[in-house]
Amino acid sequence: MYEEILKASTRIAGRIHTTPVQTSAAADAWAGKQLFFKCENFQKTGSFKARGALNAVLKAKDENPKLKGVVTHSSGNHGQALAWAARQAQLQCTVVVPEGSPLVKCNAIQSYGAELIYCAPNPQARYFITEKIVAEFAFLFVPSSDHHDVIAGQGTIATEFLSQVPDLDAILVPISGGGMTSGIAVAAKNIRPETKVFAVEPEGKDLQASLMAEQRLWKGEPKFLDTIADGIRLQQVDHLTFPLLCKYAESTVFSASDEEMVSAMKFIWQQMKIVVEVSSSAGLAAAVSSRMKEVMPELKKIGVILCGGNVDIDKLPW
């Protein structure tokens, strides 16, 4: 997988932004550690998702020049990214989104030329409609995380980050399906094995138990968590990402409540003057948590992934 990440870096170079790393003395004081914020909220389409989507689309078109289009289901950020990537590759794109998705994200998907189809707010409805579109139009399904080329694209965050700050002790990554976290973990462990990669989840995901057991302990069908962080509300990580997480990421997982994420989000807006969505604040919430101080006191230089900035400013959570 690391070789695929390096190929992805070459494939998408020149089409995406090299995102900056920001620091904050106030954040360092709050955490009691040196924090380095990787600003993927400044990425094309406003989130890290552009990396994986573009890598998958460009590779697919290279392998199949007759490809007509692509389809996905997404709560917003991946949908925007795939719509943008499809336009880059001159392909059609359809995005299935659950009812109630942030309007700012839905409008952006359409602004990139994609067709938007709404579905019931549950994973099963998204899967059903997406499969119908694949069958009817022969479009390629590009999931938000459970795809090797998407994972490889997200892994370029770490190759870039560790070239900017080579001696990070740890990287904190908000997690939903696990594409970004697994890609970063694979890359980081190959570049600097001593760098620890931690997933940061919304409360209720219970990822740590599964990682420690190295088996999927979730029962029943996938579902959405009841969290304000719409970008990371998927309860279960995906099937391709899970074994990569078990092998390359730390089994310790940090959980953040809605209140903790909103507090961290407000800090980033007020103190750092950076627009981020709630999901992006999960890493800072973990960095300043009492649990971080208790279980990982030796960590001094910590990378925090600000994964996206697609927030509806008419509906801020405070």
Q: Do residues 66 and 89 lie in contact, with contact meaning Cβ atoms separated by under 8 Å? A: no
Return the half-sphere exposure (C-beta side, CA atoms, 13 A cut-off) of residue 85. 36
- Amino acid letter, residue 132: K
Strand partners, 303: 36, 171
Q: Which residues fall within 8 angstroms of residue 303, CB to CB, at 6 or more apart?
A: 35, 36, 37, 38, 161, 165, 168, 170, 171, 172
Q: E strand or H helix at 199, and its extent?
A: strand 196-202
Cα atoms in the 13 Å half-sphere on the side-chain side of 132? 10
Number of Cβ atoms within 10 Å of the Cβ of 3: 9
CA distance 305 to 48: 9
Say how many Å lie between the first and final Cα of the chain, rounded: 41
75 is catalytic: yes
Q: Is 49 a catalytic residue?
A: yes
Q: Which amino acid is at 137?
A: F
- Selecting among 33, 38, 44, 49, the annotated active-site residue is 49
| Residue 73 · residue 121 · CB < 8 Å | no
Burial class (CB in 10 A: 0-12, 13-18, 19+), 221: exposed
Scanning the structure block, which residue is given the tokens 């190759």?
159
Of 24, 74, 75, 101, which is the active-site residue?
75
Q: Which residues are catalytic, by number?
A: 49, 75
